[in-house]
């Protein structure tokens, strides 16, 4: 789907492209991609890279176009991994901004909801910085959600160590891995924008640039901390489950040995040999009493050695 908005106050929507406009493309179809390539002379291979879900963040130059790929977070509750990242292409020219994403992302909506801004923020590379700033804030918001869900799963695990809770925790860990890799990629893109010669640094909003850098570093540090905490949590629960299994196996082994004692005595006296109790009226009672006595002594010994 393609939307056209003017790069001016409140971003009014327009029906077709004109100068100083923003073209928003979400979940595009092939004919829409071909239309953009033909109309603006964009490189086909770069447009294909934008739609590649595994493409890293980077920046290139082609004529008057500054072509950038940013990794943005998305929320997909229907998938097994609820939080993931996708590529967004941000193509900048002196009079047009084009953003392309293979999914329905929320970053564009955040920018469209802005009511306070300065004209300098709508300059091409300042627009990219603004988009990256909102992307970093979205990462931070999703990281807080992931941490809350991980804490909830931890509480459930303390009550019942089931495989489903461990699988949920593993999915949260996968989310953090995806986020961390994407944010590091975005950080490299930001570093390249600060050092590239294709950007007029005199027009860059230095304060916004510093804000983006700080937000990105904060998000990366939060993802590292949450990932380490969840990894330690999973190892702790894994050790608890392993220890519980060892205790169960130890108890079952002790029970087996104790139950083997009367069975062994009964086997000896069940043989067709002389055992000095054949003629005794108390033979059966004696065997039962001896079996119970030795079993009780065995149980006492196992309890003393903390094996029961």
pLDDT at res. 247:
80
More confident residue, 89 or 108: 89
- Answer for the pair 91, 69: CB distance below 8 angstroms, yes or no: no
pLDDT at res. 224:
92
Nearest to 53 by CA among 24, 27, 22, 82: 27
Residue 119 has pLDDT above 60, yes or no: no
Contacts (Cβ under 8 Å, ≥6 apart) of 37: 43, 44, 47
More confident residue, 269 or 202: 269
The CA distance from 176 to 227, in Å, is 6
CATH assignment of 244-304, given 2.70.98, 3.30.70, 1.10.1740, 1.20.58?
Answer: 1.20.58
pLDDT at res. 10:
79
The pLDDT mean for the chain works out to: 83
The residue-averaged pLDDT of 6-22 equals 84
How many residues would you count in the chain? Answer: 308
**Are β-strands 21-26 and 2-6 bridged in parallel, bridged antiparallel, or unpaired?**
antiparallel
Residue 279 has pLDDT above 80, yes or no: no
The CA distance from 79 to 101, in Å, is 18
Q: Domain residue spans in the chain?
A: 2-242, 244-304
- Indicate the pLDDT class of residue 308, thresholds 50, 70 and 90: low
The CA distance from 8 to 289, in Å, is 98
The CA distance from 90 to 67, in Å, is 6
pLDDT at res. 100:
92
pLDDT at res. 201:
54
- Indicate the pLDDT class of residue 274, thresholds 50, 70 and 90: confident
148-188 per-position pLDDT tens digit:
988 888 777 766 656 777 788 888 888 999 999 999 999 99
Residue 273 has pLDDT above 80, yes or no: no
In this structure, which topology does domain 2-242 adopt according to CATH? Answer: Beta Polymerase; domain 2 (3.30.460)
Residue 69 has pLDDT above 90, yes or no: yes
More confident residue, 185 or 201: 185
- Indicate the pLDDT class of residue 124, thresholds 50, 70 and 90: low
211-269 per-position pLDDT tens digit:
888 999 999 999 999 888 888 887 877 777 777 778 888 888 888 888 888 888 888 77
More confident residue, 208 or 137: 137
pLDDT at res. 199:
58
Four-residue CA torsion sign, 181, 187, 190, 195: negative
């Amino acid at each position: 789907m393609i939307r056209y908005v003017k790069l001016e106050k409140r971003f009014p929507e327009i029906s077709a492209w004109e100068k100083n406009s923003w073209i928003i493309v979400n979940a595009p179809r092939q004919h829409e991609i071909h239309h953009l390539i033909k109309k603006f002379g964009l490189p086909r291979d770069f447009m294909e890279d934008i739609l590649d879900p595994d493409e890293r963040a980077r920046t290139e130059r082609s004529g008057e176009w500054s072509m950038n790929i940013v990794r943005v977070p998305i929320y997909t509750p229907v998938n097994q991994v609820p939080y993931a990242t996708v590529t967004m292409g941000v193509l900048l020219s002196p009079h047009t901004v084009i953003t392309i994403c293979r999914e329905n992302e929320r970053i564009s909506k955040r920018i469209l909801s802005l009511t306070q801004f300065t004209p300098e923020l709508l300059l091409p590379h300042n627009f990219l910085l603004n988009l990256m700033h909102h992307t970093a804030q979205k990462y931070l918001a999703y990281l807080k959600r992931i941490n809350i869900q991980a804490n909830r799963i931890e509480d459930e695990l303390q009550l019942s160590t089931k495989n489903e809770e461990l699988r949920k925790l593993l999915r949260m860990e996968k989310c953090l891995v995806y986020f961390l890799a994407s944010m590091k990629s975005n950080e490299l893109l930001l570093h390249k924008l600060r050092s590239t010669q294709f950007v007029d640094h005199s027009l860059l909003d230095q304060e916004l640039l510093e804000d983006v850098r700080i937000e990105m570093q904060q998000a990366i540090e939060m993802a590292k901390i949450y990932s380490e905490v969840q990894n330690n949590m999973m190892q702790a629960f894994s050790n608890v489950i392993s220890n519980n299994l060892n205790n169960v196996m130890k108890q079952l082994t002790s029970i087996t040995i104790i139950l083997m004692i009367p069975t062994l005595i009964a086997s000896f006296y069940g043989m067709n040999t002389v055992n000095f109790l054949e003629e005794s009226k108390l033979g059966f009672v004696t065997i039962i009493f001896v079996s119970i006595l030795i079993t009780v002594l065995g149980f006492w010994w196992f309890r003393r050695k903390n094996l029961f």
